Chain A
Amino acid sequence: MTDMASLMEDRAAAKVISDNLRKPVDWDSPKIARNIKKRYAAERRFKSYGLVAICLALLALCTLALSIGSKGYSAFYQTYVQLEVTFDPAVIDPDRTGDPDVIGRANFDGLVKQALRDRFPDVTSRSDKRDLYGIVSGGASYDLRERVLENPSLIGQTRTIWLISGDDFDMLNKGYIDPTVDEGDRRLNDNEVAWYNELVADGAVEKQFHTRFFTSGDSREPELAGIWGAAVGSFYTLLVTLALSFPIGVLAAIYLEEFAPKNRFTQIVEVNINNLAAVPSIVFGLLGLEVYLNVMHLPRSAPVVGGLTLALMTLPTIIIASRAAIKAVPPSIRQAALGLGASPVQTVTHHVLPLAMPGILTGTIIGMAQALGETAPLLMIGMVAFIVDIPGGALDPATVLPVQIYLWADSPERAFVEKTSAAIMVLLAFLVLMNGLAVYLRKKFERKW
């Protein structure tokens, strides 16, 4: 289009506009009505997009919760099998010594197997027997040992006892293994399913509350694995994190808010704190690996190192929250204290800090909740080791709850899926508790000056 032509067109357009302007708008014309209708429709559409977005987000949350809950609730129950166990004195204590050491070393596993053979006397072939022994978990013999050690008079008697079942049997009882599919496609063969049906018909199969899940450490056997070891590890790790990050964070916040002059140093500190809050967590893991393990030679997999690493991560959260809380204390309180002869440090410790404490605590709890759920940096410093023992201190090898979840999620056994989900439920429960506490503190001590 040439310049001339476009100029002509502009003029024409301008004329149309000026003609329109001269005409009064007929607000009742169908054109305007249509326009308004269209605009209202657009308004409604736009509003519904927003609603749909929120609903999508909430739907995702619900799906997450439902998928975890539906997979995990069954882990709180465990299948038990009722068997008649003969506490054969020839096996437990052949010389009738009554010595707990002798009893402790006895072959309780053999007793369990004997009880199973007695229950199903037709089973003769070697491989069938091996399948048969799978009905009861390897952990059942420890339960028997404890029973006998507690009550030695059991020796020589025959008792009907509920024994913890193996994981495949448990999965069958919970309905995760479909006995109707082809034999080659499921974990249990036809024999095992037949035994199961026989036991069920006798009322010898029962689901009981699974206390062991809360009291024992990790195990290769899903039915014996528990979260207590990881919970204790998390506790020690968070303890170290809190012991370091709380005082350091609060002191740094006090300095920056109350004492710091505006100079290069404090500027660098402030920029740094913001940057630290944004560094990916795995980079802190690399720092921990290099500095704490390779340079300082601290023990691998120990809560101390985990706590040191997480402390650096939670520091920015605590500093930022504490600064906000300290800033909220009105200057008149400081001036009054200073006017009465208190020194700057006394003003802070006697007046500002107590008033800011609820806010500081809220920030600290939120920081601790983040640290409790953190996984990636702990993988770097070796807290992924398989650890059965309950850690007895901050220097013992340990794992933490989220890492335990990660480890179980990687396990091939079907039964670990429900354990993983259940552990997630426990972890989320802790997080909800901590966040609830933070909200409560904020509500309770919130004050306007």
Chain B
Amino acid sequence: MSLSFLLLAVAALCALSFYFGRQRAVALSGGRHSNLHSLPVHYGAYTAAWCGLPALFLLLIWYMFQGSVIEALIVSDLPQEVVGDSGRLSLALNSISQIAAGGGEHLTVSPEIVDAGRRLANLQTIANAALVVVMLSVALAGLVLSYRRIEADMRARNNVERISRAIMIVCSAIAILSTVGIVFSLMFETLHFFSKINPLDFLFGLEWSPQTAIRADQVASEGAFGMIPLFVGTLLITLIAMCVAVPVGLFSAIYMGEYAAPKFRAVAKPALEILAGVPTVVYGFFAALTVAPFLRDNGAILGLDVSSESALAAGLVMGIMIIPFVSSLSDDVMSQVPKSLRDGSYALGATKSETIRQVIFPAALPGIVGAVLLAVSRAIGETMIVVMAAGLAANMTVNPLQAVTTVTVQIVTLLVGDQEFDSAKTLSAFALGLVLFLVTLGLNVFALKVVQKYREKYD
């Protein structure tokens, strides 16, 4: 029975229990609703909730653990020499799951693995059947128990309200859960990584070449996991992006807020906001296919040697992407400078630009700094533009005409395609992810603090 069918079955049971619960309440009322504590609908909702919620909760728990439990069962039956070696184990598990899925005829594996594959398929069938049985019986049990508890003076409405409030709390907690999930999943793999690579080498190493030796007797490809070159590349591209986005964004915001006629504003503001809505993969394509060749050709005319995947192209396009971000945030901040300050400045005979430069801008400066920091954190975390337009080679350079690589590019290249399970190479992506997460989070928190602190000033 497939998942969607199972969910449908539970939904049908819920509808049924709603009907039963309501009917029973109506029957108990003896024709007068005032004999009941709550409306009949509440009794129906009460039974439906007790029928559906425990079953759904069970389903969730089941799906979280089914995979791991079955894997543990399979692993426990594998020969010792396979289990002992993490590389061989993951390879074996991969073939087992292929065999279980009905394929894998092309695999040359030992009979134990084939047996394990069959066992896995078997276990999966059993688990699915068990899930259906257990879930439906839990739903039915909930239906019967709650149905029998219905009485005329039962406080059904209060019960239902308590249940719905609990559901809401669970929904709010998902925000916390996902943050915890991010931190734990990154932390877990990062610790794994640090058990193979010295954390100091990772944090301060000047060389990045994640190609590790696959076999023990290979000598040439010794991996080096120093993240400094990646951060230099990321910061270089971010710097270029900021050089584009900050002046353009700031001046657009000033013009839009202080000078523009309402008609111009009505056209230009949404047009600028379109820039924010364009998917980053589109910017990446634009950078790789239009901007980079343009820069390379013009660089050649000027006698400059521009690499076809230059930091400049990626940075320029990323800057364009960030313009609306800077402009809308600084627009907010500048429009919050109180009118009395402007009026005072005008009364002293200052022109508009003098007011903006000498009164509004200094007053809004902390907020603008916050906006720029937010933009920086966005540029550091941006992926698709750099994946498509920046290079792969970890050059330690500050020359914007050369190819550099960034943290996000490396995460993508390490984890897309054929992965070696459990190698330092794949694990390093998680360590990079953790560093990226911490850096952007720190920047964001700091920037939000700055913006908020400034906002309180004029209240």
Which A residues fall within an 8 A CB radius of B?
Answer: 39-40, 42-43, 45-47, 49-54, 56-58, 60-61, 63-64, 67-68, 71, 247-249, 251-252, 254-256, 259-260, 266, 268-269, 272-276, 278-284, 286-287, 289-291, 295-298, 312, 315-316, 319, 343-345, 369, 372-376, 379-380, 384, 393, 395, 402-403, 405-406, 409, 417, 420-421, 424, 427-428, 431, 435
B408 lies within 8 A of A409 (CB): no
Bound CA–CA A51/B71 (angstroms): 63
Q: Which residues of A contact B171 (CB under 8 A)?
A: 247-249, 251-252, 255
Interface contact tally, CB-CB below 8 A = 263
B66 lies within 8 A of A402 (CB): no
Chain B contacts with A in 423-459, Cβ cutoff 8 A: 429-430, 433, 436-437, 440-441, 444-445, 448
A54 lies within 8 A of B255 (CB): yes
Which B residues fall within an 8 A CB radius of A?
Answer: 3-4, 63-64, 66-68, 71, 157-158, 160-161, 164-165, 167-169, 171-176, 178-179, 181-182, 185-186, 188-189, 247-252, 254-256, 258-259, 268, 271-272, 274-275, 277-286, 288-290, 320, 323-324, 327, 351-354, 356-357, 374, 377-378, 380-384, 387-388, 408, 411-412, 415-417, 429-430, 433, 436-437, 440-441, 444-445, 448
A251 lies within 8 A of B185 (CB): no
Bound CA–CA A84/B12 (angstroms): 59
A344 lies within 8 A of B181 (CB): no
B176 lies within 8 A of A296 (CB): no
A255 lies within 8 A of B320 (CB): no
Q: Which residues of B contact A268 (CB under 8 A)?
A: 176
B281 lies within 8 A of A286 (CB): no
Bound CA–CA A409/B284 (angstroms): 9
B277 lies within 8 A of A278 (CB): no
A276 lies within 8 A of B271 (CB): no
Q: Which residues of A contact B66 (CB under 8 A)?
A: 297
Question: From residue B66, how far is it (CB to closest CB) to chain A in Å?
Answer: 7
- Further pairs besides A56-B248, A255-B165, A424-B285: 20, Cβ < 8 Å: A47-B259, A53-B252, A54-B252, A57-B323, A67-B290, A251-B168, A252-B174, A259-B165, A266-B172, A269-B176, A280-B381, A280-B437, A286-B185, A291-B185, A297-B71, A373-B282, A405-B282, A409-B285, A409-B388, A420-B285
CB-CB nearest 9 A-B residue pairs: A280-B381, A50-B255, A297-B67, A373-B279, A53-B251, A290-B185, A255-B168, A46-B353, A376-B383
With contact pairs A268-B176, A269-B172, A296-B67 given, residues A282 and B412 touching in the complex (Cβ less than 8 Å)? yes
With contact pairs A57-B272, A279-B437, A283-B433 given, residues A259 and B168 touching in the complex (Cβ less than 8 Å)? yes
B161 lies within 8 A of A343 (CB): yes
Question: From residue A350, how far is it (CB to closest CB) to chain B in Å?
Answer: 12
With contact pairs A274-B448, A373-B279 given, residues A289 and B415 touching in the complex (Cβ less than 8 Å)? yes
A316 partner, pick from B175, B247, B415, beta carbons under 8 A: B175
With contact pairs A57-B323, A272-B175 given, residues A286 and B161 touching in the complex (Cβ less than 8 Å)? no
B411 lies within 8 A of A286 (CB): yes
A406 partner, pick from B281, B289, B415, beta carbons under 8 A: B281
A279 partner, pick from B176, B182, B288, B416, beta carbons under 8 A: B182
Bound CA–CA A129/B356 (angstroms): 73
Query: CB-nearest residue of chain B relative to A244?
Result: B174
Bound CA–CA A57/B276 (angstroms): 11
A58 lies within 8 A of B444 (CB): no
Question: From residue B157, how far is it (CB to closest CB) to chain A in Å?
Answer: 6
B351 lies within 8 A of A376 (CB): no
